[in-house]
């Protein structure tokens, strides 16, 4: 039980606290497009880390090629303007890359919860709840919420959607897939984030689907097929 508690602490540190803080700090200084491309390198780092730290997720040419094609697909989908800031604020870019590396270690570390017999629902709830408690002092000191006006219904609805669907449900699925498919496969979801964003924009916000986005989706699909 004590070991499980230590594992929970390590998981919320490397899967939430460190990467969330690094991405937030980095995105204050670089564009969201460039941040998305850098974030899409998560499977690449996972392939490398898994090769050295596991016996069943070894690196091979097929996996490396698939990851690189997937990253290229993300870059094509977002567009060349996103790459314009590459080489600008190096510290911010390294912060985002550091977050992806933290995600890679978290994916590998999280596999142990299945061996401990901890249900995905318990892991997801414990991780998110504990991270919230850890960050609460910073929120109180920096934002001072008692000085702000009360949010309206639309804000509360948005927060509920982010908390319940984009975080709680997503992490339940994350740990369930992690236990069955391994760290490399579960972190391939990074490639699908821009795809989902584009499709939601077309279906919900009536945005136009551009040819480069179609080409980017095709490359991402090709990369995923090459990896698995």
Concatenating the DSSP letter of every residue in 33-95 gives HHHHHHHTTHHHHHHHHHHHH-SSS---HHHHHHHHHHHHHHHHHH-GGGGGGTTSSHHHHHH
State pLDDT tens for residues 186-207: 777 777 777 777 777 778 877 7
pTM of the model: 0.75
> What pLDDT shows up at residue 1?
46
Residue 157 reports pLDDT greater than 90: yes
State pLDDT tens for residues 60-80: 788 788 878 888 887 787 777
In the predicted model, what is the mean pLDDT of the chain? 79
Choice between 51 and 84, residue whose per-residue pLDDT is larger:
51
Concatenating the DSSP letter of every residue in 140-155 gives HHHT-GGGSPPP-HHH
Q: Which residues of 72-109 are buried (b: 16+ CB within 10 A; e: fewer)?
A: bbbbbbbeeebeebeeeeeebbebbbbbbbbbbbbbbb
Domain boundaries, the chain: 2-227
Contacts of 186 (CB under 8 A, 6+ apart): 107, 174, 177, 178
d(CA 172, CA 84): 37
Of the pLDDT bands very low, low, confident and very high (cuts 50, 70, 90), residue 87 is: low
State pLDDT tens for residues 88-146: 678 888 898 899 889 888 888 877 777 777 777 777 777 777 777 777 887 788 878 88
């Amino acid at each position: 039980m004590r070991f499980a508690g230590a594992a929970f602490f390590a998981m919320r540190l490397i899967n939430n606290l460190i990467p969330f803080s690094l991405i937030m700090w980095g995105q204050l200084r670089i564009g969201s497009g460039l941040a998305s491309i850098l974030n899409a390198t998560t499977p690449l780092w996972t392939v490398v880390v898994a090769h050295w730290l596991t016996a069943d997720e070894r690196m091979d040419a097929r996996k490396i090629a698939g990851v690189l094609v997937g990253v290229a697909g993300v870059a094509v989908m977002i567009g060349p303007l996103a790459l314009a800031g590459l080489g600008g604020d190096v510290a911010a870019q390294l912060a985002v890359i550091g977050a992806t590396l933290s995600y890679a270690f978290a994916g590998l570390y999280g596999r142990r919860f299945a061996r401990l017999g901890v249900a995905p629902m318990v892991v997801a709830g414990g991780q998110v709840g504990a991270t919230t408690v850890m960050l609460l002092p910073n929120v109180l000191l920096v934002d001072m919420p008692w000085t702000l006006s009360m949010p309206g219904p639309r804000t509360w609805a948005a927060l509920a959607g982010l908390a319940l669907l984009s975080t709680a449900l997503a992490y339940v699925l994350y740990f369930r897939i992690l236990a069955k498919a391994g760290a490399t496969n579960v972190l391939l979801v990074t490639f699908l984030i821009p795809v989902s964003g584009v499709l939601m924009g077309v279906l919900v916000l009536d945005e136009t689907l551009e040819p480069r986005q179609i080409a980017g989706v095709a490359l991402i699909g090709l990369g995923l097929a090459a990896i698995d």
